[in-house]
Amino acid sequence: KLNIGVDTIQHGVEGLMYLLTESSKLMISEVDFQESIHVLGFSEELNKCLLQLYLDNRKEIRTILGELAPRLPSYHSLEWRLDVQLASRSLRQQIKPTVTMKLHLNQNEDQTAQVLQTDPATLLHLIQQLEQALGEMKTNHCRRIVRNMK
């Protein structure tokens, strides 16, 4: 009926979906939304129509996006044990430490446990990497990103 190619319509619908989902994720204000679509060069009537579409559906879009988000397991508790092998039949003088951890997780009211085993050097490296990641979360750039994700 429109005498327009299928690809053009598909790209238009995908672009509209992207505009609405990203705007809803960031919960941008009416003014910011209008400024975002103003640069697209649409008519004033179409801009008003898009704004009304966004305002009417942003809560529903956020709800759907929240339901689609993966449910990740959460931390419950941790048990750990340090084992040290002092000698074996072939080597009388050896020290081989290992750290065994049992990580208890909650996921959808189900509890699961993961057993992990490593040497202390690898564990120290992992701790340093996690502390570095936590330090980066305190930067202004990361705080801004996290604030916009909520």
pLDDT tens-digit readout, 102-136: 999 998 888 999 999 999 999 999 999 999 999 98
62 lies in the same domain as 86: no
- State which residues form the domain around 59: 6-68
10 lies in the same domain as 63: yes
10 lies in the same domain as 58: yes
Q: How far apart are CA 136 and CA 146, in angstroms?
A: 12
Quote the crossing angle between the two packed helices 6-26 and 44-68, to the nearest 10°. Answer: 70
- 22-49 average pLDDT score: 87
18 lies in the same domain as 64: yes
The answer to whether position 100 is within a domain reads: yes
Q: Answer with the residue of higher pLDDT: 1 or 123.
A: 123
Which pair of tokens denotes residue 132?
Answer: 């570095």
Average pLDDT across the chain, whole number: 88
Q: What is the band of 149 on the pLDDT scale with cuts at 50, 70, 90?
A: low
The answer to whether position 1 is within a domain reads: no
Residue with tokens 């990580």: 103
Q: How many domains does the chain have?
A: 3
89 lies in the same domain as 53: no
18 lies in the same domain as 45: yes
- For the ranges 43-57, 107-121, 136-150, the lowest mean pLDDT is seen at 136-150
The answer to whether position 129 is within a domain reads: yes
